[in-house]
Amino acid sequence: MDLSIVVPLYNEEESIPELYQWIDRVMKENNFTYEVIFVNDGSTDRSWEIIERLKDNNSNIKGIKFRRNYGKSPALFCGFEQAEGDVVITMDADMQDSPDEIPGLYQMITSEGYDMVSGWKKKRYDPLSKTLPTKLFNATARRVSGIKNLHDFNCGLKAYRKDVVKNIEVYGEMHRYIPYLAKNAGFNRIGEKIVQHQARKFGTTKFGGWNRFFNGYLDLLSLWFLSRFGIKPMHFFGLLGSLMFIFGFIAVIIVGATKLYNMYNGMPYRLVTDSPYFYLSLTAMIIGTQLFLTGFIGELIARNSTERNNYQIEKVI
């Protein structure tokens, strides 16, 4: 099978039949063998009935139905598990992404050797309240992830070599950072293709508001931390803790020594506990010890984690 097209959806009843017809037309024009995997993320409208009806007449449709709404990332994860095509495409169900882009994306994966290609909605048809935060967000994501050639991390339209989707774990709200996840799993050839974007035809956006902003950044922070220190937490906490402790220890010796020196030389001196520096060094030593212990506990957890030896093995012969 050439292509698996994974479509996560949450309350998109109006769009589904039209989207499927459009995909089907493009696939037939290009003689692709394909499947469309609709992942119904706990829709409360008639989306699932519509998918079931479509499936009756078209054997190349698969459907996954969540009992409740989990989010776009879990939907993608389960779609990826089912995907059988050599190239896996993800696209939103709201028809903001155009199926006409699929042949071009497929080409980039199969002939130009990319592991994954991300769409770039260079001209976007969304309100400013969405496009402005997105700019900021993309700039940060580029810096933190080190993937400098991507303008649009969160574009719903992406193409992957099958290996990629089988070896990454998209959870929480990590769908925004799939290129980063892919890079951390060792898939380095990440490209970009400018794609058409339409205004939403039916329904409303499912990602509004400020939550998106804060959660997005917190997720990026977690990913950065996990990829750098996930299996060696001591390297982070141990270093910080040791520095803190040494700083406190030296400071307290200076405070004590100054007092003794002044005392023996008959100069005026004050009690160690009267010096503000004493409290600073005390705090530094306590925090240092705690950071260090956090590192040890982190190591103990990492050691027991089922993921500890979960290395990305590309091939076994």
Among 19, 51, 71, 281, indicate the residue that binds ligand UDP (CB under 6 A): 71
State the binding partner of 41 from ligand UDP, Mg ion, none, CB within 5 to 8 A by kind: ligand UDP
Nearer to Mg ion, 15 or 281 (CB): 15
In the complex, the smallest distance separating the C-beta of residue 121 from Mg ion, rounded to whole angstroms, is 10
Q: What is the closest distance, in whole angstroms, from the C-beta atom of residue 56 to Mg ion in the complex?
A: 27
181 touches, from ligand UDP, Mg ion, none (C-beta below 5 to 8 Å by class): none
Applying the rule CB under 6 A, the residues between 153 and 172 that interact with ligand UDP are 156
Taking CB under 6 A as the binding criterion, the range among 9-17, 216-224, 235-243, 244-252 that sits at the site for ligand UDP is 9-17
CB 135 within 8 A of CB 123: no
Can you tell me which of 96, 118, 275, 281 binds ligand UDP, judged by CB under 6 A? 96
Task: Name the minimum Å distance from CB 64 to ligand UDP.
Answer: 11
Which residue, 189 or 206, is less far from ligand UDP as judged by CB?
A: 206
Question: 47 or 275, CB closer to Mg ion?
Answer: 47
Q: How far is the CB of 8 from ligand UDP (least distance, A)?
A: 4
In 183-211, which positions are buried (b, 16+ CB within 10 angstroms) versus exposed (e)? bbbebebbbbbebebeeeeeeeebeeeee
In the set 6, 13, 38, 72, which binds ligand UDP (CB under 6 A)? 72
Site for ligand UDP in 38-57 (CB under 6 A): 41
Q: Is 134 in the site for ligand UDP (CB under 6 A)?
A: no
Phi/psi at 44 (5° precision): -105, 0
Residues 84-143 that bind Mg ion (CB under 5 A): 92, 94, 96
Binding site for ligand UDP (CB under 6 A): 8-10, 12, 41, 69, 71-72, 75, 92-94, 96, 156, 205-207
